[in-house]
């Protein structure tokens, strides 16, 4: 009996040729490499998007739907904000650092955005705000520009980056859980890959 060629072609594994697993967070030098490139190119939108993505630690679906009123009062961008997460329907708070506030103010003024406007509108007329797919392509462009492998990074990279840096500096897992808006501590452990990373770190420091 001849094999069904059509079936063989259409049942290719979904993960063939793809890197599966958690997307790597950016290192501090990577953050500054991307930020400086955006500053030098005077890319107001992407600089504001990059800075807010790092600070907010939001999922892509929540980040792209942020409106001006979520983070600003008039022209004043608040040092802290709170939003309802789409996935969990639970509120999460995040800080907005000085440099992020400054980049947001420049972008909001440049676009003359009002309180109800999406911060990052789509350049495609059919969509009111940046889509998660568009955002993913932007993130890919950022990592490629500084010589990183785009298959190892993605939108979750942006969510994980500051959380990972905070954990590395403080080892305060509960604080990171709150910042990420996770309901269970176990989720934060899995999300950051803490157990594996800590085990490797201990192994590296142990000479035999």
pLDDT in tens, 86-121: 888 889 999 999 999 999 999 999 999 999 999 998
Question: Is residue 13 over pLDDT 70?
Answer: no
**Residue 23 domain flag:** no
**Residue 11 domain flag:** no
pLDDT in tens, 16-35: 444 445 788 999 999 999 99
**Residue 87 domain flag:** yes
pLDDT in tens, 45-76: 999 999 999 999 999 999 999 999 999 987 79
Residue 189 sits in a domain whose CATH number is 1.10.443.10
Bridge partners of residue 72, in order along the sequence: 77
Question: Is residue 141 over pLDDT 60?
Answer: yes
Cα separation, 116 vs 135, in Å, equals 21
What's CA 37's distance to the chain center, in Å? 18
């Amino acid at each position: 009996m001849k094999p069904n060629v059509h079936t063989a072609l259409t049942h290719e594994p979904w993960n063939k040729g793809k890197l599966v697993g958690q997307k790597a967070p950016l290192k501090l030098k990577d953050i500054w490499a991307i930020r400086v490139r955006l500053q030098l190119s005077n890319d107001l939108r992407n600089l504001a998007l990059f800075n807010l993505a790092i600070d907010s630690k939001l999922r892509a679906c929540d980040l792209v739907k942020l409106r001006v009123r979520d983070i600003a009062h008039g022209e004043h961008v608040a040092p802290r904000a709170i939003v309802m997460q789409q996935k969990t329907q639970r509120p999460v708070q995040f800080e907005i650092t000085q440099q992020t506030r400054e980049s947001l103010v420049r972008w909001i003024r440049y676009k003359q955005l009002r309180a109800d406007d999406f911060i990052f509108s789509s350049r495609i007329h059919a969509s009111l705000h940046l889509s998660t797919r568009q955002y993913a392509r932007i993130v890919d462009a950022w990592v490629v520009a500084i010589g990183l492998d785009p298959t190892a990074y993605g939108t979750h990279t942006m969510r994980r980056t500051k959380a990972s840096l905070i954990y590395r500096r403080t080892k305060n897992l509960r604080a990171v859980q709150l910042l990420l808006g996770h309901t269970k501590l176990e989720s934060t452990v899995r999300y950051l890959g803490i157990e594996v990373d800590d085990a490797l770190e201990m192994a590296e420091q142990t000479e035999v």
